[in-house]
Amino acid sequence: MIVREAHGLSEPSGPTGRPLSWSRTVAREAVHRVSVAEVLLTDVRTHGDNRFEAAAQWPRSHPTFPHGGDGRHHPLMIAETLRELGIYIPTRYYAVPAGAHFLIRDISYRLDPETEPRAPYGASDITCRAAVTDIRTTPCGRFVSGMRLDVVLSAGGKLFAWAGGTARFLDGTAYAETRSAVHGHTARRRLRAAVRPSPAQLAVPAARDVLVVRDGGVVYLDPADPRHPFFFDHWSDHVPGLVLLEGARQAAALATGGTLTRPVACRMKAIRFTESFPPAVVECTSHGRTCVFRLRQADICTAVGVLQYL
């Protein structure tokens, strides 16, 4: 099993109190989005004892992650839902300042293709049951500095995915101190003979969605659109976690000649910051229906992971 099931979580039963709402999204600032169109969460409620229930809506017409021909959503919608919950819950219920820097340490998901929702029309209403564990605090014990979040997702009364991740939260001062130690390799490096794959090779909708290039037999993380409306919805001084994950997925598709494009499970660990420059090398090795990947920058490994396919 590539990702453990959430701690004691099962398919959400009927909610207590008022029902969850899918009528409107939560505030975009609450999930660190600039565009309202990129917000998936619509409602979050606490059940006490570090447990929560949430609603999210996955649009059928998402420009970056379009549904498959049979109405299936892109699997990375699971990761984005987890990311939004991983920001909303700490700031709303654990007094983590909204201006804190949220750093992903690891992220994983597992999808059941037999029960995942289809969206032939409109969108899919997703129900999430979440549990917070491994709560870390600052040395003084007054502020939460990190936690683990495990989530089960269901649609139409059917459980279809498990996801989990660990994050830490840094205030501006701590973040600046952390970044000052790794800012030594930010010079731009020109890729002299880079060839950008076609969208069809990577199973993405458009040229702007391509995140990798091949240069002399080496694959680099080099987004075609540094202002991409989803991947770079707001400015960041390093490469966001979902860009790393999608870059690895694209590298796996490239390495297997388009054979492996839709991972039903994944696990990624961010070892250190991946800088925007120089472009990180994405190494991907397939073993049957499994791809192991690694990102390197200045000969230092920044992230590792596994993608699994049917």
Rg of the Cα atoms in the chain: 19
Residue 26 identity (one-letter amino acid): V
Distance between CA atoms of 177 and 170, rounded to whole angstroms? 10
Q: 67 with 171, same domain?
A: yes
**SS3 at position 200:** helix
Label residue 95 left, alpha or beta by phi (over 0 means left) and psi (-120 to 50 means alpha): left
Residue 4 lies in a domain: no
User: H or E stretch including 88?
Assistant: helix 76-93
Would you state the pLDDT for residue 150?
98
Q: 140 with 95, same domain?
A: yes
Would you state the pLDDT for residue 87?
97
CB–CB of 209/199 below 8 Å?
yes
Q: 154 with 55, same domain?
A: yes
Distance between CA atoms of 221 and 40, rounded to whole angstroms? 26
Distance between CA atoms of 88 and 182, rounded to whole angstroms? 28
Would you state the pLDDT for residue 188?
53
Q: 229 with 112, same domain?
A: no
What pTM did the predictor assign? 0.92
Question: What is the widest separation between alpha-carbon atoms in the chain?
Answer: 61
Would you state the pLDDT for residue 13?
45
Residues in the chain: 310
Range of the domain at 37: 28-179
CATH of the domain at 104: 3.10.129.10
**SS3 at position 144:** strand
**What are 64's two structure tokens?**
């970056």
Residue 70 lies in a domain: yes
φ, ψ dihedrals at 62, nearest 5°: -60, 125
What is the count of structural domains for the chain? Answer: 2
Would you state the pLDDT for residue 89?
98
Residue 14 lies in a domain: no
pLDDT in tens, the chain (310 residues): 233 344 445 444 444 568 999 999 999 999 999 999 999 999 999 999 999 999 999 998 888 887 777 889 999 999 999 999 999 999 999 999 988 999 999 999 999 999 999 987 889 999 999 999 999 999 888 899 999 999 999 999 999 999 999 999 999 999 999 997 655 444 455 676 799 999 999 999 999 999 999 998 899 999 999 999 999 999 999 999 999 999 999 999 999 999 999 999 999 999 999 999 999 999 999 999 999 999 999 899 999 999 999 9
Q: 110 with 245, same domain?
A: no
Residue 10 lies in a domain: no
Report which of 68, 51, 44, 53 is spatially closest to residue 12, judged by C-alpha positions: 53
Q: How far apart are the first and last CA of the chain?
A: 14
Would you state the pLDDT for residue 181?
63
> Within 10 A of 158 (CB to CB), how many other CB atoms are there?
13
Report which of 40, 37, 69, 82 is spatially closest to residue 261, judged by C-alpha positions: 69
Beta bridge partners of 307: 266, 291
Would you state the pLDDT for residue 7?
44
> Within 10 A of 298 (CB to CB), how many other CB atoms are there?
12
User: H or E stretch including 91?
Assistant: helix 76-93
CB–CB of 49/114 below 8 Å?
no
**What are 148's two structure tokens?**
């683990």
Residue 7 lies in a domain: no
Residue 50 identity (one-letter amino acid): N
